[in-house]
Amino acid sequence: MSTSAVLESTQVAEPPVIARTLGAELVAAAERLEGAHPADVLSWAFSRFGGRIAIATGFGAEGMALIDIAARVLVRPRVFFIDTGFLFEETYELRRRIEDRYGIEIEAVDPAMTPESQADAFGDRLWSIDPDLCCRIRKTDPLRDRLSDLDAWVTAIRRDQTRFRATARAVEWDLRWGLVKVNPLASWTRTEIWSHILENKVPYNPLHDKGFPSIGCTHCTRAVAEGEDERAGRWAGRTKTECGLHG
């Protein structure tokens, strides 16, 4: 595989200098780590990027499996989440349970606007009028600011979740945000995630047992019916399937 093959996997313009510098190394790492156990991917990433890498979590099942594996590789890995201010109470409670279990502090990254100031500026229900703008204010802008202080971030995405995620590699250059993106669970299936959670008694969001396979903000998440796509409960009734964090 050539350097350009990795860069093309996330397409777009001329990559920045740092991407070109890292290109050959990322290609080699991506090839070597394709299909590797997530612990091996994390072990490489943590030793390569030291204090300049952090795990982003949305507290989904994948994220909980990822933190559990990361905590076996590195004592107290850095973890952060984007606190939109609209998360389920069960999600905030899960944060506390994860912090207790692994002895870590999960950093909350806040949007510049509070829910109240957003309502003053754009009305009470921006998420139903313009969810892209709402996601930009409450998710992608805060993420961009947080990532600007890192050389690499770790995500819990799986290739089989959406078509946008289908080309994700274990290690790749993130053209959108301008840093290395590590996806240790890229090749895992939903079944493998849940096997890991149940076998290791990893804490997870109780909403998963109530028909919520994917959990985001309260305003934009509903339970799904049997046979529906696992992300059908996110922005239901709209074509939107991603909040912009991963493409």
Catalytic residue among 134, 135, 217, 243: 243
Kindly indicate which of the ranges 39-47, 129-137, 144-152, 159-167 contains the residues binding ligand SF4, using the contact rule CB under 6 A: 129-137
* Of 15 and 142, CB closest to ligand SF4: 142
Q: How far is the CB of 147 from ligand SF4 (least distance, A)?
A: 17
Q: How many other CB atoms are there within 10 angstroms of residue 231's CB atom?
A: 16
From 130-138, 149-157, 159-167, 197-205, span contacting ligand SF4 (CB under 6 A): 130-138
Q: Applying CB under 6 A, which of residues 3, 43, 57, 84 lies at the interface with ligand SF4?
A: 84
3-state SS string for 54-123: EEECCCCHHHHHHHHHHHHHCCCCCEEEECCCCECHHHHHHHHHHHHHHCCCCEEECCCCCHHHHHHHHC
Whole-angstrom Cα distance, residue 83 to residue 103? 20
> For residue 211, what is the enclosing H or E element?
none
Does 180 bind ligand SF4 (CB under 6 A)? Our answer is: no
Q: Which CB, 62 or 172, lies closer to ligand SF4?
A: 62
Integer Cα distance of 204 and 65 in angstroms: 9
Structure tokens given for 182: 């590590």
Q: Print the binding letters for residues 226-245 with ligand SF4: x by CB under 6 A, - otherwise.
A: -----------------x--
Catalytic residues, by residue number, are 243
Footprint of ligand SF4 on this chain (CB under 6 A)? Answer: 84, 86, 127, 131, 134-135, 138-139, 216-217, 219-220, 243
